[in-house]
Amino acid sequence: MAEATAAVPESYNQEKAIQAYLSSTNLEPLQTTQGILASIQSIANLESNAARLPPHLRGIAAEELKWIRRGMIAINQSPALQSKIGKDWNSAVVASGLLKQMHAAKMMEEILAPYAFPAEDQAEARRRSAFS
């Protein structure tokens, strides 16, 4: 029962993150169909030719491809997400950005948690993070 209750705030936080992102002025203008197809072709080329990239570019390309791939998967597999932000390329880009933000927030939480809670409270903090 406690697990079901813990899931509600997380989904609420995710919905708020989506709303905040969509209402921000940081959204790029919509791309043309030609631009979108060129982006998709670029991704396909990067994935198939990643080994030929210089090492300093290969790592960055792999990281960015990981996030856009996760955004596309999220859009394709989540009807709830589709209903909130759509199911096209721009939606996948938005989902990718949201996933990156959520990951960064989680990483910072994990890094800062030992400093935010006294030692006697760390067990409680780990128990809470197990539900998120």
Phi-psi region of 86 (alpha: psi -120 to 50; beta: other; left: phi over 0): left
Q: Is the pLDDT of residue 10 over 80?
A: no
3 assigned to some structural domain: no
C-alpha span between 12 and 45 (Å, rounded): 37
17 assigned to some structural domain: no
42 assigned to some structural domain: yes
9 assigned to some structural domain: no
Q: Whats the size of the chain, residue-wise?
A: 132
83 assigned to some structural domain: yes
76 assigned to some structural domain: yes
Mean pLDDT for all residues in the chain: 79
1 assigned to some structural domain: no
31 or 5: whose pLDDT is higher? 31
Residues spanned by the domain of 79: 29-129
11 assigned to some structural domain: no
**Residue 124 pLDDT level (bands cut at 50, 70, 90):** confident
- How is 52-86 classified by DSSP, letter by letter? GS-HHHHHHHHHHHHHHHHHHHHHHH-HHHHHHH-
What pLDDT does residue 51 have?
Answer: 85
**Residue 6 pLDDT level (bands cut at 50, 70, 90):** very low
Count up the domains in the chain and report the number. Answer: 1
